[in-house]
Each structure stands twice: as C-alpha cells, then as structure tokens.
Amino acid sequence: MENTQSYKSFLKSPHYITKHSTYFDAYDDLLSKYRGQKITFVEIGILSGGSLYMWRDFFGPQARIIGVDLNPAAKKWESEGFEIYIGSQSDPDFWKNFVEEVGPMDVVLDDGGHTYEQQITTVECLIDHITDGGKLIVEDTHTSYMNGFGPKRYSFIEYTKALIDAVNRRFGKFQSRAAENRIWSISVYESIVAFSVSRKASCMVSSPVRGIGTNDGAKDYRYGEPNTLSRHIEKLRNQFSTGLFFKCRKYFK
C-alpha cells in the first residue's frame, strides 16, 4: 500500500476520505495507465469530497473529474473545478440524462450506496457508455456477503458470476445468444470487481486458429486411453477426500 501512487494521492487529499487498505494496490493495478492522460473519470459517492482530490492528484491536471451523489450538498465541490451531478445511482432515468450531458467515460468507479440494486443498475446503465480501453469498477463488493444490502440471491457478486458465465458463452462452439458482448474481461480483487471494455475484442467470433508450421501428427494425449473418463472421475473423487483437491474443495459449493 505505502508505495502505491494512489495511496500517495490519498494522503495528499485535503478533505475527509476513507478507503480500505487493500484498495490502493488494486487501484494502481487497474488505473496506472490512465495517469497523465486526458480522460473522463466518474466517481459515484462524494461524501466529504476527499476522493475527488485524491483522483485529481492521481490522474493529473488533464483529467476531467466528475462526482455523483444523492446528497445535494455535494454541489459545493463544483466551485473547486469538479463536475458534480446530483441523483440516485439506482435511477435509470438519472443515468439517461447523465450520459447525455457527460458523454463517453473512460473510467467509472462506484463507491456509492453499495446495495445490489445500486451496483447492478449502475453497471447496466453505464457500461455501454464506457470508451474502448476503459473500465467500470465497483468497490465494496463485500456487501454481497452481508445483510442489509438486498436479497443475496441477486447480490452483485451473483450478478458478476452470471456475467463470467456470459463472457465464456462467447466461445465459438456455444453460439449462445446470451453471450456477453459489452464486457471484454472481468477482474476480481478482494472487495473490488472491474469490468474492462473493448468492443472489438468482445465482439470477435471465437474460432480455432492454426499456425503455418508443419504438423508432425503428434498424438494428443488430452483424451487419454479408453475408459479414462471413468478413471478421471474416480481419481477426482478420491482427491476431493485426500489429495490435491482436498485443499481447494472448500471453494466449491
């Protein structure tokens, strides 16, 4: 944390700001490439304004820093050169007007109310307005495992898992209409989920590509010998109780 640029910018903020210690390494990992660039950055959740300054310091003077909050008092930060929009992140009409005024965004960071409805609505309303090469980042996703943020069956992490399945439905052989073509990739950190956008990459048709080198006809061992499948299943079963998989079986439901 100490050596990250985002933490250094955090320490310089002249106003109240609170983040979790693990976020700074993730911020640097996700956002360093935008530093010094002419980007449009949106943070949902302004509170006392501290993070607006952190991001201005982190991205540099060329970045357009936009804050969104439900609290109308946050409008005061406009006098400091930030663009401020007041409204609810769970209101699709608010986002409709917002994107008409703001235009395409390079990075959106959701640090708002952290309910599943708010988080999912934000992704669904903004993902199509993120530029190619941009990111939509949702933080405090630990609320998906906590009470008081919505029905857990429809938690943000359950939504993310469904999107992971939908990204993989792009595989050519599946030919599924439910494939995800807005999000190119999904990165999961502790308490943070980041969606990367690249229309070209996420709309590519997946098919095998072979190089031009000579084929020596090597036997592909991946399918193994006859009856291997039943032996694999047996081995897997044993490993779940004794072997390597014993260590990771706690991760399976």
Interface contacts to ligand SAM, rule CB under 6 A? 17-19, 43-47, 50-51, 68-71, 88-90, 111-113, 118
Task: With CA atoms as reference, report the closest residue to 115 among 94, 144, 88, 91.
Answer: 144
100-to-87, 95, 129, 132, 251 alpha-carbon distances in Å:
14, 8, 10, 18, 43
Is 114 considered catalytic here? yes
Residue type for position 14? P
Nearer to ligand SAM, 137 or 167 (CB): 137
> 5: which 2 tokens?
């640029």
Shortest Å distance, C-beta 68 to ligand SAM: 6
Closest CB to ligand SAM belongs to which residue? Answer: 113
Please report how close the Cβ of residue 155 comes to ligand SAM at its closest, in angstroms: 17
Q: Which helix (H) or strand (E) holds 85?
A: strand 83-86
> Which two structure tokens, joined as six digits, stand for 87?
């409204």
CB of 22 to ligand SAM, least distance (A): 14
Q: Which is nearer to ligand SAM, 109 or 157 (CB)?
A: 109
Give yes or no for a contact between 89 and 121, defined as CB atoms under 8 angstroms apart: yes
Active-site entry in 114, 129, 142, 232: 114
- Considering the complex, state which of residue 53 and residue 184 has its C-beta at the smaller distance from ligand SAM: 53
Provide the annotated active-site residues.
114
